[in-house]
Structure 1
Amino acid sequence: MSQSLPDIAFFHQLAEAASKQTLPRYRSSLNLHIDTKPKEGFNFDPVTDADREAERVMRSLINETYPEHAIMGEEFGITGKGPIQWVLDPVDGTRPFLCGLPVWGTLIGLLHNKRAVMGMMSQPFTNETFWADGKCAWTNGPQGKRQLQTRQNVTLSQAILHTTSAELASSYPHVNFKGLSEQTLMTRFGGECYAMAMLAAGQIDLCFEFSLQPYDIVALIPIIEQAGGVVTTLSGQRAESGGTVLASANQALHEQALQVLNH
């Protein structure tokens, strides 16, 4: 069986299948059963039927079309093995999903020999899709289709900084997030995966996350990188395994921000 990379059209097919499970449950109590699971630093880490059913349908399509590929998903773990692995987060941002805020998304990433090479973030409520096809990054939505490009000439003092959960800062006293925030133009919070997409789109310049899992970041790495940005851990390593992660609009800004965070 072939181990060639899939066409980006299949990512769109997966996202459409997931949206049929997430959208009917969004801003609705219909079939939405809410549980919680343990997560360090949080009293409540929600998981819903939207998460489970969206991952289930995506897994089924992958297994049917690419049975030789491995899969890692937030809800059902790892299955299969081999050089190509799908990395799925059916609802990244379950908290805003429950709050009715449209900053959640379905994340579909692809690893080839453990490196993120293709990815998609789908926000079906706003009808927006962001993806990387292996060469370039794109978006399509109400304003049409266009190629994504990060801001290349922005300085640290001009940069817009984003993090999802500032409440985690106290658990990471070795990270100088306050210092970085003080040196940037402004800091915003709570944007989840949508903020990462906005970095690729040139709207945000720095996205910092204290603690990510692989399924939180793998899909976003190629979108940001193929739009001209940089994504690494706090130590400057590849971020496919998650951890403390910084995404930046360009290399110079990334190096400056890492220096401040590690000071």
Structure 2
Amino acid sequence: MSLAGIETERPDPTLAAALAAVEAAGAAIRPWFRRRLVAETKDDLSPVTRADRDAEAAMRRVLGEAFPMDGILGEENGLEREEARRCWVIDPIDGTRAFITGRPSFGVLLALLEDGVPSLGIIDQPVTGERWIGRRGCRTLFTGRLGGEAATRACGSLAEAELSATAPAMFDATGRTRFQRLESACRRVYWGGDCYAYGLLALGCIDLVAEQDLKIWDWAALVPVIEGAGGVITDWQGSALRQGCAGDVLAAGDPALHGAAVAKLASAGGAP
């Protein structure tokens, strides 16, 4: 039996449900791509569309039917079954601004937390057909028509590094100063990408991603994908990402590059 390029005689029911959920999300999203959707503004000033809501509802239906005792946390509709040891974390469209402006640099994010730790993560781009599947302790799997292999690349120094972040507006005043120290040490910075940038890091196209103010649905799926491709993903202090963290996220393709990036991102009273 084949599950999105994974050959196995005994499919993992958790993975099968996750893949069915992202397929359902993609089916809800694709009809609205480049359809000039009206976007509403949420209380946090981020945009939301019918495609976001329909995709999350579709994922909740699939996961709820497959694992009715699991928790589900989604960006648009909050938390169900807070007491559950396992919790699915959904971002139906990570990069809604890209989606509503017709850019295919958004993605569907789905993670499974077990006792608060991400054990499964999927980045799915439903328009380009690209998909990254990460499972704790396993090599990341990638499928896609545009080519690429899930393996980060070696990068010897910050001076050789390609750095990425979604937008300058995501940084607070102190964070912007800290990011600029890292930016000035790198070869180039690329703005834009949302979760797609982390997928490109997992393919060895980008060396570093540093961002602020990410919510758990923004980063949970990224952890198994980046780690399974050979990279490192932490907060800006180098600590593991966990529920309740501040949302300062640093991903490095080459683990040797990670410490140098952490030092550049150190707070004003820390390392230069």
Q: Same fold (TM over 0.5)?
A: yes
Q: CA deviation at 1:83?
A: 1.5
More strand by share: 1
Q: 1:4-36, CA deviations, whole angstroms, 9 ceiling, x for partnerless residues? A: x7442322211110011111111004xx44211
Residue of 123, 126, 129 corresponding to 2:125:
123
Give 2:182's aligned residue.
180
2:67 partner letter: Y
1:191 aligns with 193
Q: How does 1:42-53 map to 2 (within 5 A)?
A: 44-53=45-54
Match of 2:105 in 1: 103
Query: Which amino acid is 1:49 matched to?
Result: R
Q: CA deviation at 1:131?
A: 1.0
RMSD across aligned positions (CA)? 1.7
Q: State whether residues 217 and 240 of structure 1, in contact with CA within 8 Å, keep that contact through their aligned partners in structure 2.
A: no
The residue aligned with 1:258 is: 262
State the AA in 2 paired with 1:214: I
Q: For residues 233 and 175 of structure 1, do their structure 2 counterparts lie closer, same or farther at Cα, with a shift above 3 Å needed?
A: farther
Letter in 2 for 1:191: G
Q: What letter is aligned with 1:24? A: P
Mapped partners of 1:185, 1:153: distance in 2: 11
Deviation string, structure 1 residues 33-63 (Cα, Å, up to 9, x no partner): 4211122xxxx41011111110001101111
2:248 is paired with a residue whose SS is strand
Alpha-carbon distance between aligned partners in 2 of 1:249 and 1:155, rounded to the nearest angstrom: 12
Task: Give the C-alpha shift of residue 175 in structure 1.
Answer: 4.7
2:20 to 13, 21, 28: 13
> What TM-score, normalized to structure 2?
0.87
**8 Å Cα contact 1:137-1:147 kept in structure 2:** no
Q: Distance in 1 between matches of 2:149 and 2:192?
A: 25
Q: Cα distance, 1:153 vs. partner? A: 4.0
Deviation at 1:173, TM superposition (A): 4.8
Amino acid at match of 2:212: F
Aligned 8 A contact 2:121 2:225 in 1:
yes
Greater CA deviation, 126-135 or 15-24? 126-135
SS for the counterpart of 2:212 is strand
- Verify the 8 A CA contact 2:40 2:49 in the aligned structure 1: yes
The gaps in structure 1 that reach 5 residues or longer are none
Residue 157 (str. 1) matches residue 159 (str. 2)? yes
Q: More displaced, 246-255 or 190-199?
A: 246-255
* Structure 2 unmatched ranges of 5 or more: 1-11, 267-271
- Measured after TM superposition, the shift of residue 172 of structure 1 is 2.8
> Using the alignment, how far apart are the partners of 1:169 and 1:75 within structure 2?
23
Counterpart Cα distance in 1 of 2:156 and 2:17: 35
Report the residue type matching 2:255 in the other structure.
Answer: Q
Q: Percent identity?
A: 36
Q: CA shift at 1:236, angstroms?
A: 1.9
Contact 2:17 2:62 in 1 (8 A): no
CA contact (8 A) 1:116 1:221 kept: yes
- From 120, 136, 141, the counterpart of 2:144: 141
Say yes or no: does 1:24 pair with 2:31. Answer: yes
- Residues 173, 63 of structure 1: alpha-carbon distance in 2 compared, 3 angstrom cutoff: closer
Amino acid at match of 1:120: I
**Cα distance change on mapping 1:189 and 1:153 into 2, 3 Å:** closer
Q: Distance in 2 between matches of 1:166 and 1:174?
A: 7
The answer (yes or no) to whether the contact 2:18–2:63 under 8 Å persists in 1 is no
Deviation (angstroms), 1:168: 3.5
